[in-house]
Amino acid sequence: MSRTAVGPGGAQSDRLALVVFDWDGTLVDSTSAITDAICLSAADLGLPVPTRERASHVIGLGLLEAIHYAVPQIQRAQMPAFIERYRHHFLKRDEYLMPFDGVPALLAELAGLGVPLAVATGKSRAGLDRALVQTGWGRLFATTRCADEGAPKPDPWMLHDICEELDVDPARLVMIGDTTHDLRMATAAGARSVAVTYGAHPVAELEACAPEAIVRSVGELRDWLLPRVAPA
């Protein structure tokens, strides 16, 4: 049974000093675009086309790790061409991607309350910077980390580096994501985690990672977060 977020926050020890979001499948509805780009790229190169379930499972990983998992038959010499085709197909869809309902309002509300926000994503730095410009959200985040800047998920590097920069104890951070990669990264970093079910990974896989809460909508995420954010 999934656990959903209800009720007020607890004592001061329950309060959060930092909220870190995954990007794809958590803030922005990009799961189908990424899945399409992987499958079309495989077809372009004459490689076995993965199932959509397998292709979507890699969302949140770094690009190289994602390709190797989705298309294990790929040879090293084919990787540059695959990456070129992936970027071609994804960029054709990129400008049409939309945030999930309620996300812009939630981010603005948290920022207005003085809650420090950050992003930890499997996107490249170039990809995230482009997305931040497209959404206009760059000013809302205290800092961001991308997979190509260090170790990709589920390695805890991104969260540890964010905590070091912002001088935050990982135990007072919550990682919010739609994949097991996000949740496993949080566990490895000693951070808290909340899973959202409207993204890439099935609920059963999210439950197996034992996050603190599992929410079905941005509204439920807001209800869980607001009582727990540390005062400005």
Chain centre to alpha carbon of residue 170: 17
**pTM (2 d.p.):** 0.85
Condensed to tens digits (0 to 9), the pLDDT of residues 157-174 reads 999 999 999 999 999 999
The per-residue pLDDT for 8 is: 38
Domain chopping of the chain, boundaries: 12-29+98-228, 31-94
Q: Residue 13's pLDDT band (boundaries 50, 70, 90)? A: low
Does residue 9 have a pLDDT over 80?
Answer: no
More confident site: 59 or 166: 166
Q: Identify the CATH homologous superfamily for domain 12-29+98-228.
A: HAD superfamily/HAD-like (3.40.50.1000)
Calculate what percentage of the chain has a pLDDT beyond 70: 93
Q: What average pLDDT is seen over the chain?
A: 90
| Alpha-carbon 71 to chain mean position | 21
> At residue 229, what are phi and psi to the nearest 5 degrees?
-80, 140
Question: Any idea which fold 31-94 has?
Answer: DNA polymerase; domain 1 (1.10.150)
Query: What is the side-by-side order of every strand in the sheet holding 18-21?
Result: 143-146, 117-121, 18-21, 173-177, 192-196, 213-215
Q: Comparing 59 with 39, which gets the higher pLDDT?
A: 39
Model confidence at 92, pLDDT cuts 50, 70, 90, reads confident
Residue 200 has pLDDT above 90, yes or no: no
Would you please indicate which residues are annotated as catalytic (active-site) residues?
A: 22, 24
Q: Which residues of 40-68 are buried (b: 16+ CB within 10 A; e: fewer)?
A: bbbebeebebbeeebbbbbbbbbbebbbe
Secondary structure E strands in 88-215: 117-121, 143-146, 173-177, 192-196, 213-215
**How many CB atoms within 10 Å of residue 216?**
15
